[in-house]
A and B are shown apart, each in its own frame.
Chain A
C-alpha cells in the first residue's frame, strides 16, 4: 500500500467534493423540476480506465450504473479523444431509460484522456408517443422517445435531439446546465492533477478503489453469511398481463462478496416495466450501500464486492429483448428498484436483526419481526388478504395511466403503492396465503422466524 492513511482520506475528500460540485452546478441551474426539485440526476468522476472514483449521493438507481455509460463510450470507434463530449440514453448501450440523458466528458489532462466527467439527468421529455416519454401503453422501446446510442455531442446532434422532443427550450436549458456540470468536473480533476501531479492522482484513485473494496468486504463479511436468504416480491401486472409478475432474489454472502441471484424472476414483460441489467445491478448496489458505514467512499471499489446474476429467467429476458428490440418496451427501473429494494430490504432486515442480536447494531430501534419504518403498512388499510389491489381497486391501478399525468406524480404514486402494496400481506385470491408469507415468516437459512 503506497498511499498512507492520511493521504487516502485527503484524496477521498478531494474527489468527492468534485462530484458534489458537479451536482450543485446541475441542480442549481437546471430548468426542469425533474432535475432541480426531484433531483433525478447523478454526477460522477471516472479515471482514465473507466473506473468510478467518486459519485455524489443523488438518486439510488443511478448508483454505479454510470460505469456502463463510460464503458459504452470507451467501446466507441474511434476511441474518445481528450476534450470530447458524448451523449447517450440507449438502455442497451450504457443508459437506463430513455429520459435519462447521460453526458460524458473525456477530461483533457495534458492532451491525454485523464478521466471522465459524467452527469446523468432525467429530462422530462425525450419524444415518444406521450408527453413525459414514459408511456404506460408502450410495447416497444421506439414508442418511448428518441434512442441515442453513445454519440459525440455536437451542435448538430443537439439540434437533432431538440427536434425530437416536445419542450426544446427547456431541454436546451437543462443540457446547458448538464454541460456546465460536466465541465466543472473536468476543471476540478485538472486542478487536482496540477496540484498533486497526474501520476500521484492516478495512484491515489486506484488506492481509493481498493480501500472502498476493503471496507465493503469487511462490512459484508461481518454479516451472517452461512445460509442463503431468499425473497420474492411481485409486480401487480404490467398493464398487459393482468396477473402478478414475480421478482425473486437469493442472497448469499461469501468471502465478503454479496451475491444476488435473480433466478426465478419472471421473463421480460410485454408492458413497459422491464429493466436492463445495469439498473438491476444499481438496485443491488444500493442495498449493499445501505449496509455500509456512511464514510465509505462511493466509488468503483464498492461494486467489486457485488455479484448480481440475472439467472435463467432474466438472462432469457435480456437476450430476448435484445433480439427483439421491437417487442421490448421501456424499462421501469424505478419500479424495479423499489421492488428489488424491498425484497433486498427484507433480506436486509433479517440480516440487521441478526446483526443486532450479535450486538453489532447499536441503534436497536427495530425488533425481530417488526418491519422497517419505511415500509408503510397502513397505506392500503382497507385491503385484506384475498382483496387484491389489482382486482378490487382498479382505479388505483389504472388511474394515473389513464389520466396521463406527468411522470413526477406517476412515480410518486407508484413508489407509494409498491411500498405499501404487499407489505400488509394482501395478495391475489388465487395465491394461497402460505405461498405469500408475511414478513415474519420470511426464511433465512431454513430457519423460520
Chain B
C-alpha cells in the first residue's frame, strides 16, 4: 500500500512516497507551470529509481510509463485553482441573480481595499457586469414573494444562451432556505445549454449572507471548467500508470475523489498550503504534541497556521486572491517573508524585509542568476547558516561572496554580519506577527504551544520565532522541505456538508436538532461510506455578526450553549451575550455542519535508514544577535534516536536547513525529528 503525495509548487514539485513499512521516498523536480501535470508525472515516474529527481543535481531520469513500485493512492495538492484565481484565467461566467441585485458583486461589503490609499481598488469580480442576468423572482425568509414564471425562465435561458458563456452561476436571494426557484432555473439552463456547467448556490453553499454566497458560487462556476479538465486529465494519466485512486487535496485539509473535486472546484483554492498543515499535524501527533503553531516558509511568503487538540482550525480563507470564498478552509495566515524576500532601508532609517521578493527568478543574489538585492537567504548565507558547498535542490551552487556584496549594498553603518543578523531579525518579526494573528488573535496563548517550522528555510527561524512568542518547544521534522507532500500522502479523506438553520437555541428542542442534522449525516455517509461523522454548529449571540463553530456531539442544547459560551469567552474575552445570564436564551444557531472523515491507514513513522553515527562537521556561524560562534553541523534526517544535540548547531538536510541557537538544546526523536527545548 504505497501512498504518494505530490505537491506542485511555484518552483518545485515535491513528491513523497510512503511505503507500508513507513519508509519514505522523496523526489524533488522542477515545476512545469505551463502544465503542472508534466512535472507531476515526471516525479511519479521517477519513483523507485535510484537517483531520480533533481535532488542531488543528477541528470533527470528517463521517464518511464509505469512506476516500478505498486502505487495505491496518489494524493495531489494543486495550485491550478489558486493560479486561475490569481491570474484571472478562469471561464467566462454568466451570473443569474434576483432582479435588482445584479450589482452585488461590485458593491461588495462597501469596505475599502486600502484605507489610506484612495487610488487602490478591490480586484474586479470574476464576472463581467454585462454578463449578469437579473431574474424576476423573489424569495423571502418565509417563501415565495414573487413567483418565478415559466415565461421568465424562458427569458433567462434565452438571455444566457445569447451571452454564450463557458460556465453559469445561479445565486438567488434566500435560495439557501428556499431553493425551488434556483432548482427550476438550473434545470432549464442545463437542458438548454447541455455543455455548459451550471452551478447553483444552494448546491455548494446553502447558507445566508448573499454576498459571500454569490461570490463563492461565481468562483465555483469560474473555476469549474479549468479544474474539471485538469482533474480529468490527471485522472486519465493516473489510470494509464495503473494507479487505482487519485485524490485531490482541498482547502479544508481533507481529500476528495476526482469526481467530487471536479464538482467542488472552489474548495481547491488553498489545496497547496493545506497539505503542509496536515503534515505538521500528523508529525505533531507522532511526537505527542497536539497544540501546534506551524510555519511554512517558502520562497516568497510564509504561511502560519494553528492546530489545537490535534485538530487544524478550519475557519480561515475569507478570500483568496481578492475573491471571497466562504467554504471550509484551514486557517492560513500568509505574510510576505520568505527566503527570497528583499531587504531594504526606508527613508526613515528602518530596515525592512519584503513584501518585494526576488522570487524564483532571478532569485536571491547568492543564486548567481542576476539577483543583486539582498534577500533573507543571502543574509542566512552571510551568517554561515547555509553551507555554500552544499548545493540546493535545484543544483544551484550558493555564492557567499555575492550574498555579502548584496547585503553590503544596504549601506548601513554596520558590518555585513550585523546587517545580516538584522535582516533575519526583521524577517522573524514579520513572521511572528502572522503567528500571533493565528494564535493570540483567537484567544490562544502561544506560550504553551509547540512551534513546528517547515519549508526550506523555516527551521532556521524556529528558535528565533519561539523566542519572539515566548514559546519553549520547537520541532524540526526530518524532511521539512517536503512536509507538504508528506501531508498529502497521509491526509484523510473528507467531505463537508453544510446547512442553514437560523434559530434561537431557546425555541429549539433536542428532537428538532437531531432531525435537522439527519439529512446532513445521510449526505456525508453517502459521499464517504464508512467515514466517521462529526457534527458542528455555528453559534452566536443574537445580534452578532460573526459565528463561533463548536462541536455538537449530542442533542443537548444547554451543553451546546455552554460550549459556545466557553469558546466565545476564550476568543473574545467575554461570554455573557445580551442578557448577561447563562442558559440558551440569547444564543442562536446559524449553520449546521457535518464533516465526514476517513483517515488514511496509519503508517509507522519512518525513522532513520542506515546505521552508524554520522559525524558532526564544524563551522563558524554568526548568531542573530551578532555573536561569532563555532557550531556543530549535523545531517538532518540521518541522526539516531536519542542523540542529544548541543547548541549552537546547524541541521543540514537535503531539502532544508535548521538551526539550534545558543540557549536551546535538541534531542532526536524516533521519527528522526529534532525536538528543541530551552537549555
- Are A25 and B572 neighbours in the complex by a CB distance under 8 Å? yes
- Chain A residues closer than 8 Å to B574, beta-carbon distance: 29, 176-177, 179-180
Complex: chain B residue closest to A195, CB-CB: B470
Measured between C-beta atoms, what is the minimum distance from B576 to chain A in Å?
Answer: 6
Q: Does B159 contact A (CB under 8 A)?
A: no
- Are B119 and A372 neighbours in the complex by a CB distance under 8 Å? yes
- Are A29 and B568 neighbours in the complex by a CB distance under 8 Å? yes
User: Contact partner of A289 among B116, B346, B347, CB < 8 A?
Assistant: B116
Measured between C-beta atoms, what is the minimum distance from A380 to chain B in Å?
Answer: 18
- Are A218 and B543 neighbours in the complex by a CB distance under 8 Å? no
- Are B572 and A292 neighbours in the complex by a CB distance under 8 Å? no
Q: How many contacting A-B pairs (Cβ < 8 A)?
A: 138
8 Å CB contacts to A: which residues of B438-481? 440-441, 468, 470
Complex: chain A residue closest to B428, CB-CB: A10
- Are A9 and B352 neighbours in the complex by a CB distance under 8 Å? yes
25 contacts between A and B (CB under 8 A): A1-B349, A13-B433, A14-B429, A16-B433, A17-B433, A20-B437, A21-B440, A25-B573, A27-B545, A30-B544, A36-B545, A60-B115, A170-B543, A170-B578, A173-B543, A177-B574, A180-B573, A184-B573, A211-B350, A214-B348, A219-B347, A293-B346, A294-B114, A295-B346, A372-B119
Q: Does A37 contact B (CB under 8 A)?
A: yes
**Distance between Cα atoms of A8 and B429 in the complex (Å):** 11
Q: Does A402 contact B (CB under 8 A)?
A: no
8 Å CB contacts to B: which residues of A157-199? 169-170, 172-173, 176-177, 179-181, 183-184, 188, 195
- Are B347 and A10 neighbours in the complex by a CB distance under 8 Å? no
Q: Does A33 contact B (CB under 8 A)?
A: yes
User: Contact partner of B348 among A31, A172, A215, A374, CB < 8 A?
Assistant: A215
Complex: chain B residue closest to A169, CB-CB: B578
- Are A295 and B545 neighbours in the complex by a CB distance under 8 Å? no
- Are B425 and A6 neighbours in the complex by a CB distance under 8 Å? yes
- Chain A residues closer than 8 Å to B577, beta-carbon distance: 173, 176
Complex: chain A residue closest to B447, CB-CB: A191
- Chain B residues closer than 8 Å to A17, beta-carbon distance: 433, 436-437, 440-441
- Are B441 and A173 neighbours in the complex by a CB distance under 8 Å? no
Measured between C-beta atoms, what is the minimum distance from B113 to chain A in Å?
Answer: 11
Add 20 more A-B contacts to A30-B545, A373-B121 (CB < 8 A).
A5-B349, A9-B351, A17-B436, A17-B437, A17-B440, A20-B441, A27-B546, A28-B571, A29-B541, A29-B574, A31-B541, A37-B545, A57-B116, A195-B470, A211-B348, A214-B348, A215-B346, A296-B348, A345-B118, A412-B110
- Are B116 and A365 neighbours in the complex by a CB distance under 8 Å? no
**Distance between Cα atoms of A77 and B594 in the complex (Å):** 57
Q: Does B111 contact A (CB under 8 A)?
A: yes
- Are A57 and B578 neighbours in the complex by a CB distance under 8 Å? no
Q: Does A290 contact B (CB under 8 A)?
A: yes
- Chain B residues closer than 8 Å to A242, beta-carbon distance: none
Q: Does B225 contact A (CB under 8 A)?
A: no
Binding site for A on B (CB under 8 A): 109-111, 114-119, 121, 345-352, 412, 422, 425-426, 429-430, 432-433, 436-437, 440-441, 468, 470, 541-546, 568, 571-574, 576-580
Contact of A4 with B422 at beta-carbon distance under 8 Å, contacts A170-B578, A176-B576 already known = yes
Residues of A in contact, count (CB < 8 Å)? 66
**Distance between Cα atoms of A10 and B347 in the complex (Å):** 17
User: Contact partner of A290 among B116, B422, B441, B572, CB < 8 A?
Assistant: B116
Q: Does A82 contact B (CB under 8 A)?
A: no
8 Å CB contacts to B: which residues of A357-406? 363, 365-366, 372-374
User: Contact partner of A10 among B117, B426, B579, CB < 8 A?
Assistant: B426
- Chain A residues closer than 8 Å to B437, beta-carbon distance: 17, 20
Measured between C-beta atoms, what is the minimum distance from A231 to chain B in Å?
Answer: 16
Interface centre among B114, B440, B576 (most CB of A within 10 A): B440
User: Contact partner of B115 among A25, A57, A183, CB < 8 A?
Assistant: A57
- Chain A residues closer than 8 Å to B542, beta-carbon distance: 31
**Distance between Cα atoms of A8 and B117 in the complex (Å):** 24
- Are B119 and A365 neighbours in the complex by a CB distance under 8 Å? yes
- Chain A residues closer than 8 Å to B114, beta-carbon distance: 294
Measured between C-beta atoms, what is the minimum distance from B408 to chain A in Å?
Answer: 15
Contact of A215 with B109 at beta-carbon distance under 8 Å, contacts A173-B577, A372-B118, A373-B121 already known = no
